[in-house]
A = this chain, B = another copy of it.
Amino acid sequence: MLNFDFYAPARILFGRDTQKEIGALLKPHAKKVLLHYGGGSIKKSGLYDTVVDSLKESGVDFVELGGVKPNPRLSLVYEGIALCKKESVDLVLAVGGGSAIDSAKAIAMGVYYDGDVWDIYEESKPVDKALPVATILTIPAAGSESSGDTVITNEEKQMKLGYGSPKLRPLLSVMNPELFFTLPKNQIANGVADMMSHVFERYFTNTTHTDLTDGLCEAILKTIIKNALLVIKNPQDYDAWAEVGFAGTVAHNGLVGMGREQDWACHGMEHELSAIYDVAHGAGLAVLTPGWMQYVYKDNISMFLQFAVNVMGVNGSYRDPEGMILEGIARLREFFAKMGLPASLAAIGIGEDQLELMAKKATWAAYGNEEYPLGGLKKLYWQDVLEIYKLVK
């Protein structure tokens, strides 16, 4: 086990009707809130009205900025920063999924940053101060409701970059599984692929003596696999949603990666897809992850054998560990297929023409700088990334 620094202060209010408490929850922390959200879905569902009523009842003033899109855009972040400054906002409340929350975090740190907020992403600048962020989650997926991470897309530069800081951990997040009942099935599936990937990126490691976090990762993955199949069948299954939603938060609050070298190659490879093609992050991950496993498993047979047995339930001849691993990967593909997730780049509209460029961007080889290989379990240079893209084309 490696040394670690664990800090996950986000308070999670979980369960039926919790969204109605948002005004009272924010009252001690804010006089004026930026209500930040996406499109019309929260207006159609009535959640917008519930939130506004709750803020008004508690005497919390607010201004609003809608229009967050999937793969949230830098241009809207700029707008939010200007609005917060002009209106002396002291807390950003994101109502939505990971995109709204990531956009809220960018705004929250941009308010105090004396320069272009994009610099923070591009140059990994430390952040000293940010407005507090609160969230009401409507799409369980990104884990952004408890993490200190944000991913923003710079439309002009066709770049999608992530950034993380303890200062960006939300103050509190409200999660009511009933708010997930109306999600379309492709969004459910994408979210599930994303949260599973957050565990995979931490689980697959060469670090040894990781019994506890191995076991926690496996418990989360098995919970998601079992319950995701229930919600995709019946999106109004409260109890199954409660498991999936809670699992998505624990998957990404940092706990299960403590003391382990982490991987994050799949996320790095996926960001290049969605930077250019604007595909859903989860769909991209579902395509890439089994390919990545196939490409790297020989570098750590025992790790992947444990995955096959403890997560995917493979029984068989331990004298043929590779056979068991390939069966584990096949079962993961089957699970993704049952969820309706895509299995190839072609299926998400990505042809072969830009694969090399994306591979080079993923490792920064495209920028003429020193190359930064992706991955922890196995270092992946641009040629490796290209091989993986081709494996799943």
Contact = CB atoms under 8 A, between A and B. Distances in A.
For A3, A211, A255, the residue with the greatest tally of chain B CB atoms inside 10 Å of its CB is A211
A277 interface: no
Contacts of A6: 11-12, 14
A243 interface: yes
A246 B14 contact: no
A208 B243 CA distance: 11
A16 to B, nearest CB: 6
A18 B5 CA distance: 10
A111 to B, nearest CB: 22
Nearest to A221: B215
Nearest to A13: B5
B255 A242 contact: no
Given A212-B223, A223-B211, A250-B255, A11 B16 contact: no
Nearest to A246: B212
A227 B242 CA distance: 32
A341 interface: no
Contacts of A18: 3
Interface string A217-261: 011101100110000000000011011001100100001001100
A7 B25 CA distance: 13
Nearest to A1: B242
A389 B219 CA distance: 35
A247 B1 CA distance: 13
Given A4-B15, A239-B1, A259-B14, A212 B9 contact: no
Contacts of A250: 212, 216, 255
Nearest to A9: B9
A4 B12 CA distance: 8
What is the copy number of this chain in the assembly?
2
A contact residues, range: 35 or more
Contact of A211 (B14, B212, B227): B227
Contact of A7 (B11, B211, B240): B11
Given A1-B239, A242-B259, A258-B14, A247 B9 contact: no
A1 B209 contact: no
Contacts of A326: none
A391 interface: no
Contacts of A218: 215, 219
B1 A212 contact: no
A314 interface: no
Contacts of A223: 211-212, 215
A366 interface: no
Given A219-B215, A220-B215, A239 B14 contact: no
A36 B215 CA distance: 35
A207 B5 CA distance: 33
List 6 tightest A-B contacts by C-beta distance, closest first.
A3-B15, A215-B219, A9-B9, A209-B239, A7-B11, A1-B242
Given A5-B11, A212-B219, 5 more contacts: A5-B14, A7-B9, A14-B259, A15-B259, A211-B223
30 contacts: A1-B239, A1-B242, A1-B243, A2-B15, A3-B18, A4-B14, A4-B15, A5-B11, A5-B14, A7-B9, A8-B8, A9-B11, A14-B258, A15-B259, A208-B239, A209-B239, A211-B223, A211-B226, A211-B227, A211-B243, A212-B223, A212-B243, A215-B219, A215-B222, A215-B223, A216-B216, A216-B220, A219-B219, A242-B259, A250-B255
